[in-house]
Structure 1
Amino acid sequence: MKRQFLAALGATALLAAVAGCGSGGSAAQKAPSAAPDPKTMTGTVTVWLMNEAQTTWPELVQQVNDQFAAKYPKVELRLSYQNWTDKIANLDSAIKVGSAPDVVELGNTETMKYILSGALAPVERSSFDNSDSWIKGLADTCTYQDKLYCVPYYAGARVGIYNSQLFQDATGSAEVPKTEDELFSALDRIQAKNKGNSGFSALYLPGPYWYAAMSYVAAYGGAIARFDSGGVWHGTLGDPKSQQGIQHFVDLVKKYNRGDWKVNELNQANVLGHGKAAMLYGNGWEVSVAVAPITGDPKLKDTVKLAGMPGPNGKPLPSFIGGSDLAVTSRSTAPALAADWIRMFTSTKSQQVLVNKDTLPNNLTQLGPLRTKPETAAAANAVPDAWFIPMAPGWGAVEKQNILVTMLTDILKGKSVEDATKAADAQIDQLINNPS
């Protein structure tokens, strides 16, 4: 991250114009100008971070801001914290009126919209720490047509979240089995043990939960869509491997979800926390919801645990890669300074602050120790082989129209997997190649 900063500032040698009159003229070259002194540089850098940075690692923010101020004492740094609920609206409005921040944090599913609209400036990958070992699924969210438009910040993955006491009572073990067949056997015993608990689901797997469904698609080698040699995206849910994964997911919903199949996953942690489920597939942070007052039960604090989710064919279930990225906006008046702030904020030293807080870093090197730590092993081991949504121009429209949710709902209502996936592919093909 510290490498080649002056080159990143664009302080290349300035060559004099070739001067000459007539055939006898000669060229003269001026000496290169001196690189700018960071101590004398002036300007303003505006940074938008999500509020997690303020509440979870404020010391990292302070550390980097102090480092930036020491290097650029005459540059003003303006920091603003954003909420996920209104960040996109705020950013779109700021871009429209010409007041976009210099640096913005984006959820990794948000990057494509701004890359395609020209709102993000390309950056040089090799100038950032650990870029040769960035988690591929995260780096891919910043990459389009072989150019890098943002920098991975931190990663996330979905895991099994379970009530260890319910597993202990029904199976004699408080641990989640390592294979899917063994897990199904345990879930069957848990379901039987809790048959008197109305609406209890041994595995609470919501029907419209397309992130989970696509994990099973990935497990069988399928995909939502693929990019062909002609440069065109096509829906591939109707491919046999994708259909196999979708059928697997639907079978699990029908067997284990004793609630309303039409309800999505937004409040699934509440179901676990209120004793109506033994296990779910979700984000690690959902544990805090399950053990909080009102949304869950604080008495479950030491009972609700994380585990890798067993998948088909004796392998872990592939997870969707979550996380955040940091980008320089294309209309920044100080792009080099903005890029250097990101270098500092994603440096090896900075990433270690996240690691110390059990947050998954942006690179495999620093991820290593978390893969054996009990508190983080499940998520850390799910990250290297994680999948991501198609980085296609029209993906936003596909998601906005709930094509995958509708497909899953139709199947659970009785439509065949073959018919539903082919219908979804047809809709995807109409949208996915057009900027949304």
Structure 2
Amino acid sequence: MKRQVLATLSTAALLATAAGCTSGSSSPASTDVEGKNATGTVTVWLMDDAQKSWPDLVQQVNDEFAAKYPNVQIKLSYHKWEEKISDLDAAFASGQAPDVVELGNTETLKYIVNGSLLKLERGTFDNSDNWIKGLADTCTYKETLYCVPYYTGARVSIYNSKMLQDGAGIAELPQNEDDMLAALDKVAAKYKNSANYSSLYLPGNYWYAAMSYVAAYGGSIAKFDAGGNWHGTLHEPKSQQGLQHFVDLVRKYNKSGDYKINESDQAKVLGHEKAGLIYANGWELGIATAPITGTPALEGSLKIAAMPGPNGKPLPSFIGGSDLAVTAKSQNAKVAADWVRMFTSTKSEQLLADKDTLPNNLVQLAPLKNKPATSAAANAVQDAWFTPLAPGWGTIEKQNVLVNMLNAIFAGKSVDQATKEADAQIDELINNAG
């Protein structure tokens, strides 16, 4: 690694720049920054996905950055998803936040609303006219950009084609839901003597999946009304219809014995041959075929396809992904923004695309729509749904409103009652920034 890059897994040692929560911070004036005359440090927090999956991209960008800014030191650290938010909140509270931080697209709004992120100029970043809308929306608040789309993803079906062949006599997953379920019924019958086997494994409090069925019926979690406020809409008929569809599938096909188990280990369930099909991120296939977490011998049997939904259409997917932001009180904001430009450039995004990771823009996404490994997710991205871009959404997630609603339903509460109670909580929280 270059002299300018000090990589470490220690969070505490890298809290080097001041940051805070003052709103209204302006963007860097231009992309023509000081170059060889610039000094100081740029502290970067990336998720460990980058370290595991595209270290060559990180090295490429850091080499490019070092050539342009030979007197600026990069302090780079990698973080785990389950720990990053608490670490970041502590860093902001102590005035020691990084200059650049990777945020999951459901995490951005909290930091935008509380003034922690720098305003950015959209036109100064590559492909900004062609960014995938659902991802760009997670960086935009009141028509102002606060972060840059990095990569995206969508959920798909991952299925065991050998089990499908042995049980239903077909090699490919049907793309009509009725036909798929009929085939899975046959698979369930074939493997009925395998304890806790689920031909379709849908965890009971998998709210991303549940809301996909809500979206399939034209429902939603919440809506923004003419009065300028958000309000919960899970109790509305279309939302209830989609939620009931999900509940019926879970009750029929999930044989795990515990509906409160979430989706975090679903790839392991598939990899240990206790499921025929899961609804998952494409990268979870790697977990299912890895040693310990799965079975390497399944590599040729596990396949990816679009997940069939009701009404003869693919199931709408939640749009996942990551964004990169410059913190509002960065002491080296112009240089930090230039690092983000390099990391999200056309050249960088192509490296991601070559690794079957969906890039941030439609132009480089297009070839992946016809590639077997990526076609299902790439075709799902443009019509994907997202959580409400409301000030209090982060609090709703933190308080597990949707998870608790699902748990209540599987404990015996009616969909009607559970959704009305969930909407009451949503109405109480959604318009207030956390």
Give TM-score scaled by structure 1 length: 0.90
Shift of residue 36, structure 1, vs aligned partner:
6.2
Shift of residue 333, structure 1, vs aligned partner:
1.1
Q: Per-residue displacement from partner, 1:145-189 (whole Å, max 9, x unpaired)?
A: 111110000011111011110111122222111111111111111
Correspondence for 1:408 among 406, 409, 414: 406
Shift of residue 9, structure 1, vs aligned partner:
4.9
Measure, in 1, the Cα distance between the counterparts of 2:148 and 2:234: 30
Q: Counterpart in 2 of 1:17?
A: none
Please say if 1:218 is aligned against 2:237: no
Q: Counterpart in 2 of 1:258?
A: 255
Shift of residue 368, structure 1, vs aligned partner:
0.8
**Equivalent residues of 2:33, 2:335 under 8 A apart:** no
Alignment of 1:184-195 (within 5 A): 184-195=181-192
Q: Where does the alignment leave 5 or more consecutive residues of structure 1 unmatched?
A: 1-7, 13-34
Please say if 1:79 is aligned against 2:79: no
Q: Counterpart in 2 of 1:121?
A: 118
Shift of residue 414, structure 1, vs aligned partner:
2.6
Q: Counterpart in 2 of 1:142?
A: 139
Secondary structure at the counterpart of residue 200 of structure 2: strand
Measure, in 2, the Cα distance between the counterparts of 1:409 and 1:89: 26
Q: Per-residue displacement from partner, 1:37-69 (whole Å, max 9, x unpaired)?
A: 523233322211112212221221121112222
Shift of residue 191, structure 1, vs aligned partner:
1.3
Measure, in 2, the Cα distance between the counterparts of 1:325 and 1:277: 33
Correspondence for 2:371 among 370, 373, 379: 373
Shift of residue 86, structure 1, vs aligned partner:
2.0
Measure, in 2, the Cα distance between the counterparts of 1:385 and 1:38: 41
Measure, in 1, the Cα distance between the counterparts of 2:33 and 2:286: 48
Q: Counterpart in 2 of 1:395?
A: 393
Q: Per-residue displacement from partner, 1:112-145 (whole Å, max 9, x unpaired)?
A: 1111111101101111111111111111111111
Q: Counterpart in 2 of 1:237?
A: 234
Correspondence for 1:196 among 184, 193, 197: 193
Measure, in 1, the Cα distance between the counterparts of 2:188 and 2:268: 19
Q: Counterpart in 1 of 2:16?
A: none
Larger Cα-atom Rg: 1
Correspondence for 1:155 among 152, 157, 165: 152
Measure, in 2, the Cα distance between the counterparts of 1:227 and 1:9: 32
Structure 1 residues 81 and 294: alpha-carbon distance in aligned structure 2, compared to 1, 3 A threshold: closer
Query: Higher mean Cα deviation, 70-79 or 177-186?
Result: 70-79
Query: Higher mean Cα deviation, 97-106 or 193-202?
Result: 193-202
> What amino acid is aligned across from residue 224 of structure 1 in structure 2?
I
Q: Counterpart in 2 of 1:167?
A: 164
Secondary structure at the counterpart of residue 73 of structure 2: strand
Correspondence for 2:59 among 56, 62, 65: 62
Q: Counterpart in 1 of 2:35?
A: 38
Measure, in 2, the Cα distance between the counterparts of 1:140 and 1:124: 15
> What amino acid is aligned across from residue 181 of structure 1 in structure 2?
D
Please say if 1:302 is aligned against 2:321: no
Shift of residue 293, structure 1, vs aligned partner:
2.6
Secondary structure at the counterpart of residue 67 of structure 1: helix
Shift of residue 307, structure 1, vs aligned partner:
1.0
RMSD: 1.6
Q: Counterpart in 2 of 1:133?
A: 130
Correspondence for 1:47 among 39, 44, 47: 44
Query: Higher mean Cα deviation, 63-72 or 141-150?
Result: 63-72
> What amino acid is aligned across from residue 297 of structure 1 in structure 2?
T
**Equivalent residues of 2:214, 2:220 under 8 A apart:** yes
Q: Counterpart in 2 of 1:31?
A: none
Secondary structure at the counterpart of residue 106 of structure 1: strand
Q: Counterpart in 1 of 2:29?
A: 10
Shift of residue 287, structure 1, vs aligned partner:
1.4
Q: Counterpart in 2 of 1:281?
A: 279
Shift of residue 77, structure 1, vs aligned partner:
2.3
Query: Higher mean Cα deviation, 294-303 or 376-385?
Result: 294-303
Q: Per-residue displacement from partner, 1:253-303 (whole Å, max 9, x unpaired)?
A: 111112222322121122212222101111122212222233222221211
Shift of residue 312, structure 1, vs aligned partner:
1.1
Q: Counterpart in 1 of 2:24?
A: none
Q: Counterpart in 1 of 2:420?
A: 422
Correspondence for 2:92 among 83, 95, 98: 95
Measure, in 1, the Cα distance between the counterparts of 2:391 and 2:230: 9
Give TM-score scaled by structure 2 length: 0.90
Measure, in 2, the Cα distance between the counterparts of 1:88 and 1:406: 22
Q: Counterpart in 1 of 2:310?
A: 312
Q: Counterpart in 1 of 2:108?
A: 111
Measure, in 2, the Cα distance between the counterparts of 1:185 and 1:354: 37
> What amino acid is aligned across from residue 84 of structure 2 in structure 1?
K
